[in-house]
Structure 1
Amino acid sequence: MQNYIWLAFGGACLFFALVFWAITDSDELVEVEKKAESEVELQIQPEKVASMNHLGALFDEVKPLDMTTRVVTAAQHEAEFRGTKFINEQKSAYAIELFRVTDEAILKNFLKKQPDRKGFTYLRLSGEGHPEQYVLLYGIYRNAAGAESALADLKLDLPASVKPAAAEIGKYQPLVNDLGSDELSASSQLYEVKLKTAPLPKIDEAQMAALQAKAKAQQKAAEPPAKAATTTTTVTQRDADGNVVNVQRSQSSAEQPAHPKAPAQQEVADPFN
């Protein structure tokens, strides 16, 4: 009955759907266009940012960048390259500035052609608003007069366009921020280790034998003592019919038994009974 009820309900739904489809006229349907909503002008207001009067209030919490860190470019410069240490030590002295170049290879080639490179030093100049340059210096003098006198007697094969001049070393200080070759070599010093020959010790055989005997004695003393072997003797007396008349037992101990496989008990018959 339940299946018939569901079938009748489905047929009724289908009938009402057909009736609704039949009475509906597609010509009477009217399409309604939705009117556009009026545009509302967006009012954008700038975000209010909290500010403080004292701009350096976080100076202690956020440390400023350390701009005094020196640049290390190892295995790229010649031995005559100098940095801030040289400038600080000789800032009041004078030297002869031979020339400046932007390519270090030109300066290196010039140094390689010199038979005597003693007295030459060069610096790398760089900084804000200053292009990178390499300046070659010659000699160190206490004052400008000494540098001018050495410049007059200078005998170097330089092109005619190169005009050497005396210069104070301290003027390069704001533009030098490097580690010199002298500092890098000082931090990586090489040490020499000298080994001496030492004779091998001679072995005393008598002393070695005494030590071995002492070790064996200590090992033997550490071992537990061996238990003594115990032998039990039993004497049984029988009469003529074979009945036991008397039984006697005796025990004897020895450190080492005469025969390990000997029986522990012996039965001796009385020849008189």
Structure 2
Amino acid sequence: MAAIRTNWQNIRQYIWLVGGLLCLVIAVIFWAVTDTKALVTVENPIEETQVQIQPEKVAATTHLGALMDEVRPLEMTTRVVTAGNHDAEFRGTKFFQENKKAWTIELFKASNEDVIQSFLQKQADRKNFIYFRLSGENQTEQYVLAYGLFKTDDQAKVQLQQLNLKLPASIHPQSIQFEKYISLVNDLGADEMTSANKLYEVKLKSAPLPVVDETVLAQAKSALSSLTNSSGTGSETTKTTITRRDASGKVVDVQKSHSTTQAPSGTKESSAAATEKKPVEHEVSDPFN
């Protein structure tokens, strides 16, 4: 009896197992039949958002030089005037620009200008000597003493052989063209400094004296004598002149008047003193015209 029950349980388990497998097969077949559409891939593109930059509004100005004080322009043509007193042989940019194709004899270089000045003071003839200062971004400050101004290199070498300056053995003069140093010279030469302060000569000429008309003097003397004669009679003559002027100072009207007054008998002066008296002349100007 127990064996029959065990066999029946096994048969029922196999039935459930086979039924489950059949359901699985049916589900797979149904899914394969119904799912006939292809797989569609949906892509979401990444949108690039551009930031809009709004330019700042700048107030317009009609004055073109309004920013000159804030940002000053670079002055590339400015030349340097070194402190100190240079000798007359010192040369600058102008000399090198005018003689950049010429040649000279470079005697020696010195870091101190006093060395060159003391050497020049010992020379009896300083006519052909010149010296200049070298300076730049990659150039140490040096002073160069040179001699002469020649058109070609051969002329400079010939003059170099004829020089007798008694220089030390360690110094070897050489001929060199001015164009080599033109970028290292940025000074005002002594010749430019003297030309900027020119002295002007003032020539004075003698001016002729004005010619005096003798007729005018004769008339003045006769008028004076007539007045003195009238004053001798014990009367005083007063001459009044009224001059009217406009706003610009021009004479508009001139009025003259004469008045004679008798002097008191008790105050008569002597005849000698009366002849020396002159008529009193008053000039009245109108201040409102």
> What TM-score comes out, normalization by structure 1 length?
0.54
Name 1:195's counterpart in structure 2: 204
Per-residue CA distance 1:228-270 (angstroms, 9 max, x = gap): xxxxxxxxxxxxxxxxxxxxxxxxxxxx9xxxxxxxxxxxxxx
Name 1:144's counterpart in structure 2: 153
Name 2:193's counterpart in structure 1: 184
Name 2:124's counterpart in structure 1: 115
Name 2:91's counterpart in structure 1: 82
Query: Does the Cα contact within 8 Å between 2:132 and 2:185 map onto a contact in 1?
Result: yes
Aligned equivalents of 1:70 and 1:102: distance in 2?
20
Task: State the identity as a percent.
Answer: 49
Report the alpha carbon displacement of residue 133 of structure 1 after superposing the two structures with TM. 0.7
Aligned equivalents of 1:189 and 1:92: distance in 2?
29
1:154-165 alignment runs, 5 A limit: 154-165=163-174
Name 1:18's counterpart in structure 2: none
Equivalent pairs counted in the alignment come to 171
Indicate how the Cα distance of structure 1 residues 129 and 205 shifts in structure 2: closer, same or farther if over 3 A, else same.
same
Aligned equivalents of 1:174 and 1:152: distance in 2?
29
One-letter amino acid of the counterpart of residue 93, structure 2: T
1:90-239 alignment runs, 5 A limit: 90-198=99-207, 200-201=209-210, 203=212, 207-208=216-217, 210=219, 213=223, 219=241, 222-223=255-256
Report the alpha carbon displacement of residue 197 of structure 1 after superposing the two structures with TM. 3.5
Report the alpha carbon displacement of residue 195 of structure 1 after superposing the two structures with TM. 2.2
Per-residue CA distance 1:23-73 (angstroms, 9 max, x = gap): xxxxxxxxxxxxxxxxxxxxxxxxxxx9x9xxxxxxx97564113201224
Aligned equivalents of 1:158 and 1:118: distance in 2?
18
Structure 1 unaligned segments of length 5 or more: list them: 1-49, 53-59, 227-255, 257-273
Aligned-CA RMSD value: 3.5
Say which SS state the counterpart of residue 77 (structure 2) adopts.
coil
Report the alpha carbon displacement of residue 140 of structure 1 after superposing the two structures with TM. 1.1
Aligned equivalents of 1:193 and 1:93: distance in 2?
38
Per-residue CA distance 1:159-199 (angstroms, 9 max, x = gap): 12211011111111111011111111112111222223445
Aligned equivalents of 1:114 and 1:91: distance in 2?
26
One-letter amino acid of the counterpart of residue 193, structure 2: L
Report the alpha carbon displacement of residue 95 of structure 1 after superposing the two structures with TM. 0.5
